Copies of this chain bind each other. A is one copy, B any other.
């Protein structure tokens, strides 16, 4: 039997995942540059990555991560990458709170056609309350956002199902273009949405584009267990990762799904050196770029409250967090309390990888750690967050990937052309008509 294989994604932010990665020598310092994104995608394809992933946000905050304040809109960026990549899965974020399901369903189905089966939708509920100000609404409370998201995802997958295969006839002799008996209305009439359908495009190459999620709250885990194909986890250590992994996988049978149907990919920022000392020096250099203001800005955004007023050398207190905080912000705050961190420590942790796990070491150290996580029930692969581009990503692909390949843990070449194929997932049956 073939050995179980890791899945690898890369989180693209042109200025790097580290808040000040752009200050490294040779680093890109803009995210709004097609050449930068194309270069990152080429590195990912050289490394046989499963997917490239782009987060999103719907507001600008002073002192936020540079690539969060100045960025491409994800759908348009994925369109641009569609035509200049051949194997790489392409994932983008679209909010279930500030979009219409008909528009989102169309856009990702269209991307799936444009990429011949490599599109993925990261369904998020938009945690930051600031977004609401750009849409003239109140930001709904957490529980309601998830109720909306449950229905939103069902409408989107329903719209993806409306066309059976073979609905396009295009018979030049008879002049019949479509077989309307194979095109179904959705006729959704729910609590938050009424959507008649069908979508105005044939069923897409993956049957349904891949669904990504990252929610870690109870409703977030339920939504993922029921609907996601890939889950990004934000964790800081092995034990926490195992607990999260089990919490998600164990609830899948409740929704009639097998645990293998979701790939759990913790985010990790690898800082690589020829020696451990070199890796630590690089991390120190990155951390020296973290300033009070940029880290406090980022941390305040994650926590959903302004924490810039706390003195840097004071211990982090027990704070009641608002409803608009990220799920993993709670975990970071717990960790800070548990480990007796000061605000300075917490700023460094946030500035490095926005709350994700950081590992520094030699390529072999890093492969050891990833292997341990992969083989002991903490991960099905990883979402790699290079601290800066292109250098730190080149290093990972040229030094760590070959090590994983030598160990038989990761593909040496692509064996499929769709993201669904890379993930080893079957084509889903349409809720209408016969399966493929």
Contacts and interface: CB of A to CB of B under 8 A. Distances in A.
A73 B195 contact: no
Given A107-B73, A134-B195, A168-B30, A68 B200 contact: yes
A194 B136 contact: yes
Given A107-B76, A201-B32, A66 B100 contact: no
A81 B78 contact: no
A201 B72 CA distance: 7
A280 interface: no
A84 interface: yes
Interface residues of A, number: 70
Interface string A43-76: 0000000000000011110100010111111011
Contacts of A194: 133, 136
A55 B411 CA distance: 42
Nearest to A85: B83
Nearest to A177: B66
Contacts of A183: 60
Contacts of A430: none
Contacts of A73: 103, 106-107, 109-110, 201
Given A79-B78, A170-B30, A200 B103 contact: no
A340 B420 CA distance: 58
A140 interface: no
A107 B75 contact: yes
A401 to B, nearest CB: 25
A30 B73 CA distance: 28
A62 B168 contact: no
A219 interface: no
Contacts of A82: 34, 76, 79-80
A378 to B, nearest CB: 34
Nearest to A65: B177
Interface in A109-124: 109-111, 113-114, 116
A76 B92 CA distance: 12
A397 to B, nearest CB: 22
A145 interface: no
A178 B66 contact: yes
A380 interface: no
Interface in A198-214: 198-202
A379 interface: no
B201 A110 contact: no
Given A23-B172, A103-B98, A168-B70, A34 B114 contact: yes
B175 A20 contact: yes
A364 to B, nearest CB: 32
B198 A60 contact: yes
B175 A57 contact: no
A428 B181 CA distance: 51
A76 B168 contact: no
Given A172-B29, A180-B62, A201 B23 contact: no
A257 to B, nearest CB: 29
A36 to B, nearest CB: 11
A102 interface: yes
Contacts of A198: 60
Interface in A170-203: 170, 172, 175, 177-178, 180, 183, 193-202
A289 interface: yes
A240 to B, nearest CB: 31
A75 B75 contact: yes
A341 interface: no
A98 B102 CA distance: 10
A410 interface: no
Contacts of A113: 32-34, 72
Contacts of A201: 32, 70-73
15 contacts: A20-B175, A29-B170, A30-B170, A32-B113, A59-B196, A60-B183, A60-B199, A69-B178, A72-B110, A76-B76, A76-B82, A98-B100, A102-B135, A133-B194, A134-B196
**Which 7 residue pairs of A and B lie closest in terms of their CB atoms, listed nearest first?**
A79-B79, A136-B194, A73-B110, A133-B196, A76-B110, A66-B177, A102-B134
